[in-house]
Chain A
Amino acid sequence: MSAVQTREHPALRRDRLAALGPLGKPVNLILVGAAVFLLIGCLSSQIFAQQTVVGLAQGAVYGSLALALVLIYRATEVVNFAQGEMAMFTTYVAYQLTTSWHVTYWLAFALTLLIAFVFGMGVQLVFIRPVQHTSVIAVVIVTVGLFILIDGVVGWVWGADIKFMPAPFGNTVYHVGGVAIARQDIGTILVTIASVGLLWLLFQRTKLGLGMRAAALRPASARLVGVRVDRMLALGWGLAAVLGAVAGLMAEASEYSLQPSFMQPILLYAFAAAVLGGLESPVGALVGGVMIGIFLNLLGQYVSFVTSEIRLPFAFLVLIVVLLIKPTGLFGKKKVRKV
């Protein structure tokens, strides 16, 4: 009997994977696998389906905030630790508009996004630009300082007690084939899709968006074709703040209450999402957010010891595992830097 074992040549293996087309990429295999798993789960169990929808809505919030982090990371090469608190501040602005000044919710929503845009640009101009060219760690420390500053100011202006805002989507619950779906969750998902879609159009289909991408990717080359890089960076911070504001408003709506610390856990989930997707990848941030949202909800449902107290550590576990196994995340590319 022959005991000759043939070992596959690595090049052949690569060819075989390439023959599978886009399915051959590990990322896509993981995504397709996850989708099939969720589909089978949803079809076979109503509770599973319900938790998936809730997780999807939460994941949309994590994903938007993660996308905000990624936008700034790509342009400034720094993780903005104040992103969650900036979103928290803008949610208080919306609270002020709706509750104290009696502006209708969706008008307040639009005004808040506008204010968030100006606020984000202001933060970049006043706090980030002066230290931007010194060192990465200086910028990180400034964002941590901003975190504390915003927290303090909001507590001072509005107080630390729990506030309530009008619900944007009401409290209706739909029943689809025995699965209870909150109108709030559908609304969150749709608002996220709309805002991310608009942002995508801005970046991919307009000259301004092209300039912003060029400024983020290759600032030196961008300057040589006349792109005003500093202005583009400020715009990027403004847009990130808008995305954060959307995340904050949607998070408030699904928690039905507002307090100064409410974005802090969400920022941590967003970190995990951004790292899972690859810090450089906008698509990755969204996919990562959705995956973490659904994963944590299913875990809470089916694994008895995963209570709400231990949710956050689990997000951290994801973060650590990703950093150990694949530091570039699902969609990240290995960066080759020429020195």
Chain B
Amino acid sequence: MSALLELDEVEARYGPITALHGVSLAVEEGSIVAVLGANGAGKTTTLRAISNTVRRSGDVRFAGKPLGARGPEEVARLGIAHVPEGRGTFSELTVWENLRLGAYTRHDSFKADADRVLDYFPWLDDRRNQEAGTLSGGEQQMLALARAFVQRPKLLLLDEPSLGLAPVLVTEIFRIIRELNEREGLTVLVVEQNAHLALQAATTAYVLEVGRVALSGPSDELQQNESVRRSYLGY
């Protein structure tokens, strides 16, 4: 069975600096895959290489087809939702306009999706006319998930959903990610510093070190792994 997303020896660079030195990974349909690593290991760059928001070389295949030179908007239209660093909030627009933008590329009714998204995030309803930039960090992260959900992606790329959030909120965010995966069959590739939560949620995980895959495997195996425990889990 071929994976939904495959990266084969992908390199990426920012000007003269190479951030990824040949990363290969695979995301099976219906799974949650975590990418772990320290700051500067290339986690964010890996996601950027997929959505083509960084200069990359090497092969990225989605549903068996190479993404080639498609720009980020065309990658999004293929069904890859990328929630970037900073959550991609349109701060100046209202909460509801942010959601509406999630469904931008779709031509069917937004109403049905909006109703379903409110099942997950009922508080969005009261805030629909609020400027999104005035939401708290946790609320903005949930809004980003909601926006990605109405995008109806085949694959969701999440960049550090826990960044800057209180522990309670982080747990809540990961609960929702798992729920979206189980109930909606959403495939997720999540990049995370919080290795503990990420390994609990994920089926498979990759550990990046300075732009290379240092370790990979089923997440329960990695949880037992000596060096992962010492470097990323802290026990």
Q: Which of A114-122, A208-216, A247-255, A264-272 contacts B (4 or more CB under 8 A)?
A: A208-216
B76 CB, min distance to chain A CBs, angstroms: 4
Contact between chains at A207 and B100 (CB < 8 Å): yes
- Contact A225–B102 (Cβ < 8 Å): yes
Q: Mark B100-138, 1 if CB is under 8 A from A, else 0.
A: 111011000000000000000000000000000000000
A224 close to B105 (CB less than 8 A): no
**Within B24-79, which residues are at the interface with A (CB < 8 Å)?**
51, 53, 71-73, 76-77
B89 at the interface (CB under 8 A from A): yes
Please, what's the 1-or-0 string for A211-245, where 1 marks a CB less than 8 Å from any CB in chain B?
A: 10110011011111111110000000000000000
Q: A213-B93, A218-B90 are in contact. Are A223 and B73 (CB under 8 A)?
A: yes
Chain A, Cβ-Cβ closest to B107: A207
A227 in contact with B101 (CB, 8 Å): yes
Question: Nearest Cβ distance between residue A74 and chain B, in whole angstroms?
Answer: 10
**A210 CB contacts on chain B under 8 angstroms:** 93, 97, 100-101, 104
A222/B101 in contact, CB under 8 A: yes
Closest-CB distance, B122 to chain A (whole angstroms): 23
Residues in A with CB closer than 8 Å to B93 are: 210, 213-214, 217
Q: List 5 A-B contacts (CB under 8 A).
A: A207-B104, A210-B97, A214-B90, A224-B81, A229-B73
User: Within the assembled complex, what's the spacing in Å between the Cα atoms of A222 and B71?
Assistant: 12
In the assembled complex, the CB of A306 is this many whole angstroms from the nearest CB of chain B, namely: 39
Check B92 against A225 for contact (C-beta < 8 Å): no
Which chain B positions have C-beta within 8 A of A228?
73
Interface residues of A (CB under 8 A from B): 207, 210-211, 213-214, 217-218, 220-229, 338
A224 touches which of B76, B92, B100 (Cβ 8 Å): B76
Which residues in B have their C-beta under 8 angstroms from that of A226?
73, 76-77, 104-105, 151
Once the chains bind, are B84 and A220 in contact (CB under 8 Å)? Answer: yes
Interface of A is mostly: helix
Query: With A213-B93, A217-B92, A218-B90 in contact, do A225 and B84 touch (Cβ < 8 Å)?
Result: no
Of the candidates A207, A217, A229, A338, the one whose C-beta lies within 8 Å of that of B90 is: A217
**B77 (CB) vs chain A CBs: closest residue:** A226
Cβ contact within 8 Å between A224 and B84: yes
CA distance A210 to B132 in the complex (A): 14
Known: A210-B104, A220-B53. A225 touches B147 (CB 8 A): yes
- In the bound complex, do residue B104 and residue A225 qualify as a contact, i.e. CB atoms below 8 Å apart? yes
Task: For B217, list chain A residues within 8 Å (CB).
Answer: none
Give the CA-CA distance A214 to B82 in the complex, in Å.
16
> B218 at interface (Cβ–Cβ under 8 A)?
no
A223-B71, A224-B72 given; 8 more Cβ-contact pairs under 8 Å: A213-B97, A214-B93, A220-B53, A220-B84, A221-B84, A222-B101, A224-B76, A225-B147
Does B88 lie at the interface of the complex (its beta carbon under 8 Å from any beta carbon of A)?
Answer: yes
- Chain B residues whose C-beta falls within 8 Å of the C-beta of A213 in the assembled complex: 93, 97
CB atoms of B101 and A211 under 8 A apart: yes
Q: Nearest Cβ distance between residue B129 and chain A, in whole angstroms?
A: 12
Q: Which residues of B contact A211 (CB under 8 A)?
A: 101, 104
Taking the closest CB of chain B, its distance from the CB of A65, in whole angstroms, is: 24
Contacting pair B90 A221 (CB below 8 A): yes
**Cβ contact within 8 Å between B72 and A223:** yes
**Chain A residue contacts of B89, Cβ below 8 A:** 221
Q: How far is the CA of A225 from the CA of B147 in the complex (A)?
A: 9
CB <8 Å contact, A227 and B104: yes
Q: Given the complex, which residues of A lie within 8 Å of B81, measured CB to CB?
A: 224-225
Question: A228 vs B76: C-alpha distance in the bound complex, in angstroms?
Answer: 10
Residue from A218, A220, A338 having most chain B Cβ neighbours under 10 A: A218
User: From residue B151, how far is it (CB to closest CB) to chain A in Å?
Assistant: 6
For A338, what are the chain B residues with a Cβ–Cβ distance below 8 Å?
86
Known contacts A210-B97, A213-B93; A221 and B104 CB within 8 A of each other: no
Task: Tell me, in angstroms, the Cα distance from A227 to B100 when the chains sit together.
Answer: 12
B73 touches A221 (CB 8 A): no
Bound-complex Cα distance A338 to B133 (A): 14
| A207-B100, A207-B104, A229-B73 as given contacts; A224 in contact with B82, CB under 8 Å | yes
Closest Cβ of chain B to A133, distance in Å, is 13
Min Cβ gap A33→B in Å is 28
Most central of B90, B91, B151 by chain A CB within 10 Å: B90
Report the minimal beta-carbon distance from B12 to chain A, rounded to whole angstroms: 16
State in angstroms the CA–CA spacing of A220 and B102 once bound together.
14
Of the listed residues B83, B92, B97, B104, the one surrounded by the most CB atoms of chain A closer than 10 A to its CB is B104
CA of A213 to CA of B132, assembled, Å: 14
A81 to chain B, nearest CB (A): 26
Q: Report how far A75 CA is from B82 CA in the complex, Å.
A: 23
| Nearest 8 A/B pairs, CB to CB | A226-B76, A226-B105, A221-B88, A223-B72, A223-B73, A226-B77, A224-B82, A225-B101
Residues of B within 8 A of A225 (CB): 76, 81, 88, 101-102, 104-105, 147, 151
Considering the chains assembled together, what is the distance between the CA atoms of A280 and B45 in angstroms?
Answer: 32
How many whole Å from B100's CB to the nearest CB in chain A? 6
Cβ–Cβ < 8 Å partners of B92 in chain A: 217
Bound complex: CA A225 to CA B91 (Å): 15
Instruction: Pick the contact of B51: A214, A222, A224 (CB < 8 A).
Output: A224
